[in-house]
Structures are given as structure tokens and as C-alpha cells.
Chain A
Amino acid sequence: MKISTIKELLDASVLCSEEHINRHVYSACGSDMMSDVLAFVKDQAVLLTGLVNSQVIRTAEMMDMVCIVFVRSKTPSEEMLRLAEECGIVVLKTDKRMYEACGVLFANGLIGNKVRRE
């Protein structure tokens, strides 16, 4: 799924890195606990979260994620957007709550969320 499609489905606004909006995303992870996110490895994933601090951006960066969606109208700071811009992560913001945002993406075919186990 393209990031631009996620934007449309979630009725989201783009907060930074709009130039990468045509990138593809193959899996998604929704959580407010960063170590839960870090337990999940997949290429080109999108992170949906209601948590707003710099560690969200760093976590996404560590995971090589390409997009972060802030749910429930949470607004990241300028500093966070600067960090995201620096590593080319597209940041979106939606009014939808976590449950609905994840549900909409899942129903539209964005599935696949596998925790890597030894």
C-alpha cells in the first residue's frame, strides 16, 4: 500500500517528508509501547501510535520504518518533525482513534505483523 493511500484512507494530513508519499508500505504496527514496536521486524513498515515524544521517531528510525501515523489528533513537536525529516520518515496525523485507524488499514489489505522469534 502506498503512503498516499494511507493518507486518504485515514483522512490524514502530512506533517513532513511529503516528497516520499509515493513510497510503499508492506506491514503495520500499532502501539504506544516502544519496546513492543521494537520486537517487531518487517521491512518498510508503518507505525501507528498515540504516543508523542522523540523516542517514537528514534524507534521508527531504528526499525527502518518509512511512515509514522499519529492517531487521535496528537501533534508532534517541531523538533520531532525535524528528526523525522532527517531520516526521510513521512509523518501523518489523523483524527481517528487507534482502533479505527488500524481497522481501516487492515480491512484495506495492509496486513502482516510478525514478531521475529528465534
Chain B
Amino acid sequence: MSEPLIFHFDVDGDNFTSAGQASVTIKKDLRRLGLSSEIIRRVSIAMYEGEINMVIHAGGGVADVRVFEEYIEIVLTDRGPGISNIDQAMQEGFSTAPDAIRSLGFGAGMGLPNMKRYTDDMKIETVVGEGTTITMRVNLT
């Protein structure tokens, strides 16, 4: 089995305007690999939602994307406040985003459900007060 292609990004938690840049870059990189537009769209939307979450809820973090022969893995890690109730957070419409974030177009409570919808597998590991790691997979075969 060949080695995966690895992409690494630091996601700046202080800059809302630049949030999403890692996902834009991944989208371009995946295009260059010649993957289908459907796969590219699913990976980049899921990563974009996760990236925005790290910026608005967790003060930034890191994103790692690995492209294997059979799947793409996206790992988002932050040292934010953690998620106290994952089941609740996964519900469509649940959001703790303040009005300031809503006026920026986020806080519909759709991000995590979208990430689940667009990927084949999603795992959330979180410790309140320590941070959150979200691992997603999109199958290529």
C-alpha cells in the first residue's frame, strides 16, 4: 500500500475573515489529484464547516487531511472549551452561537449535522475544558 498524501493547516482563531482558507486550499489540491467533483465537494464542505466551528467556538486549531487510496480522512483538533453534550450538538438547529456570530451568517445549528451528512464516517472526541477532535472519512471506492 502506498503512503497517504498529507496536508496540514493551522487555523487562525482570531480572524473570521480568513476562516475557510484551509478548505479552499484543500479543494484546489484535491482538484489537482483529479478526484470527482462530488467527492471534492463533500470533503471541502465538511472541512469548511469544521474549520468555521474551530474559529467561532474554539479559538482556532489545526486541520490535517490525509488522502489514502480508499478514503480521505479529515482530522480537526482544537483546544477550545469542548462539547458538553454531543447528542444535543448534533441536532439540527442547536447552536450556542451568540448574536454577533449569527449576524455573520453562522449559528443556524446546521454545521455538525452537515458534516455528518457529507461524510461516510464521523467521530467526535471531546473533553470539556480541554478541546475537541473531530475525525471524518469520505470513501473513495
Contact = CB atoms under 8 A, between A and B. Distances in A.
A38 B107 contact: no
Contacts of A49: 105
Interface string A23-47: 0000000001111101101000000
A92 to B, nearest CB: 18
Interface string A58-69: 110111100000
Dominant secondary structure at the B interface: helix
Given A35-B110, A55-B104, A117-B117, A63 B19 contact: no
Contacts of B49: 35, 38
Interface in A72-100: none
A38 B48 CA distance: 10
B7 to A, nearest CB: 16
A53 interface: yes
B140 interface: no
B68 interface: no
B114 interface: yes
Interface string B1-41: 00000000000000011111001100100000000010001
Contacts of A64: 37, 41
B45 interface: yes
A55 B114 contact: no
B117 A55 contact: no
Contacts of A51: 104-105
Interface of B: 16-20, 23-24, 27, 37, 41, 44-45, 48-49, 52, 102, 104-111, 113-114, 117
Given A55-B105, A58-B48, 8 more contacts: A35-B110, A35-B111, A36-B108, A51-B104, A53-B105, A55-B20, A62-B20, A62-B41
